[in-house]
Amino acid sequence: MLQHGKDAGHPAPSRRRFLTALAGAGAATAAPALLTGCGTAQAKDGPLQFWNFYGPQRSPDPAVNAQSKWFVDTVDRWNATHKRQIELVHLPQPTYLNGFKVPSAFAAGQGPDIFLLSPGDFLRYYNGGILADLTPHLEKETIADFGSALDSRTVDGRVHALPMEIEPLAMFYAVDVWEKAGLSEADIPTTWDQMLDIGDKLRTRTRAGLCFETNPGYYQNFTWYPFMWQGGGDVLDKKGNVAFDSPAARQALQFWQDAVRHGITPRTLPAAGDVISAFKSGNVAMWQQGIWQVASFKAYAPDFRYGLFNLPTPPGGEYTTALGGWSFCANAQGRDPEAAAEFCAWALGSTSDESIDRMVDWCTVAKTDIAPRTSALERGAAKGGYDSAAMKKFKDEISPAGRAEPRYPPVVYKAISDAIQGTMLAGRGVASETERAAESIAAYTKSYKGASLV
């Protein structure tokens, strides 16, 4: 494991250091432009900006509107009880997730005071000196309440991000399509080969038998990791040594390549990636997706019959899934890091009933997620938030054996992404791709300086 002292792990804030980290992602090929139209150039005593991709906005999807309202209500409640005001700034989800607007803003010294962060981007921002230490604002009881959910957001025992949710992956399938093919619950696949066989049986000229993510990005890596983990593989072992060039990684890449090569999995996503529309229109039979889709089905397609099953495993493999989820973070270089950190702790990490109920509302009312705090999970269950068949399955069966999304920095992520894209869509050999990726990761880790990668 790459271990460094506390000071070395979290250097003093440096715009140059963050620019270097951004360039490592291939995002800083030109000087980062300042954001326009987002009100970033504000007086130091003005409202703190909270950039997000939920609220305030209006959408034809009722689930999206409920999630937007949760953000608005949270900030309104803070503003009614605190002198330091907060302003929500909405960025479209594709821009926030895959664009360069957010990292470029930080590189230019114009980043938001509060923002949402996924585990996959944690080290980019931590090593760049962006993430404020939230620990002084958290009680020991709260930290224990979060438990292992904080592992990927902690460095040297200090918490730098507070998760609002845990999002496990599973396989969703269209019940009507399933039944019309003469299949029953007894046919739920438990192995990769069985899932490919069923996908082949269910596909038609207009319907994909099985969907995996095809667009490169942190999300595609996130959805692929479980298949490598199931075979006992990993990108880095527990000591931080490169382990990617392994039989487990090769068979996982081969599995996805075979699904595409045999026409079971399409090369582009049905309905341009709109999962609910694709299922409703009969364009997909099975799709690997996350717990968040339960809310969208309930709000946007309440009468659609869908089922869930655990990710199947390879021969001799062991079941696991990936656990994602977004976190609240405070900008250590913002206009008021203390107030921003206090807000994060107040919103998600207080011992008050209000804070716990706020997480319950997010994970079981506005959205559908596993609550990362034990108290919120228990309270949500007591209120019936996990009573539905889908939520009960995610809580009791799918999630417990899951693994948190890794926090690999951009260079490591990109090497893995290239291997997935090269084998899945370009048809390159899995052995050469795992070897190339492992060499790239090894070269990077030799000179890496920052928080532990594992």
Whether omega before 56 lies within 30 degrees of 0, making that bond cis, reads yes
pLDDT, one tens digit per residue, over 396-442 is: 999 999 999 999 999 999 999 999 999 999 999 999 999 999 999 99
Half-sphere exposure of 151 (CA within 13 A, CB side): 12
pLDDT of 16 reads 38
Task: Report CA dihedral (297, 300, 304, 307) to the nearest 10 degrees.
Answer: -10
pLDDT of 43 reads 59
Q: Measure Cα distances from 371 to 175, 343, 348 in Å.
A: 28, 19, 11
Q: Quick one: 447 exposed, middle or buried, by C-beta within 10 A (0-12, 13-18, 19+)?
A: exposed
- Choice among 7-21, 34-48, 221-235 with the minimum mean pLDDT: 7-21
In this prediction the pTM is 0.89
CA distance 440 to 422: 15
pLDDT of 285 reads 98
pLDDT of 60 reads 80
pLDDT of 99 reads 78
For 167-322+408-447, CATH gives 3.40.190.10
The pLDDT > 70 percentage for the chain reads 91
3-state secondary structure of 94: helix
pLDDT, one tens digit per residue, over 71-108 is: 999 999 999 999 999 999 999 988 998 778 999 999 99
CA distance 264 to 381: 38
In this chain, the answer to whether the domains covering 6-166+325-400 and 167-322+408-447 adopt an identical fold is yes
Strand partners, 286: 173
The DSSP symbol for 242 reads B
pLDDT, one tens digit per residue, over 24-49 is: 443 332 222 223 333 344 557 799 99
- Tell me: pLDDT of 1 over 90: no
What are the tokens at 368? 């559908």
Instruction: Give the closest residue to 192 by CA, choosing from 230, 165, 160.
Output: 230
pLDDT, one tens digit per residue, over 109-161 is: 999 999 999 998 999 999 999 999 999 999 999 999 999 999 999 999 999 99
pLDDT of 315 reads 96
Please name the helix (run of DSSP H) or strand (run of DSSP E) that holds residue 115, with its range, or none: strand 114-117
CA distance 99 to 106: 13
Instruction: Give the closest residue to 304 by CA, choosing from 325, 275, 327, 333.
Output: 275
The pLDDT > 90 percentage for the chain reads 85
Which sequence spans correspond to the domains of the chain? 6-166+325-400, 167-322+408-447
Q: Measure Cα distances from 348 to 78, 116, 211, 269, 447 in Å.
A: 12, 13, 34, 35, 36
pLDDT of 445 reads 96
Query: Is-contact 177 282, C-beta < 8 A?
Result: yes
pLDDT, one tens digit per residue, over 339-393 is: 999 999 999 999 999 999 999 999 999 999 999 999 999 999 999 999 999 999 9
pLDDT of 44 reads 73
For 6-166+325-400, CATH gives 3.40.190.10
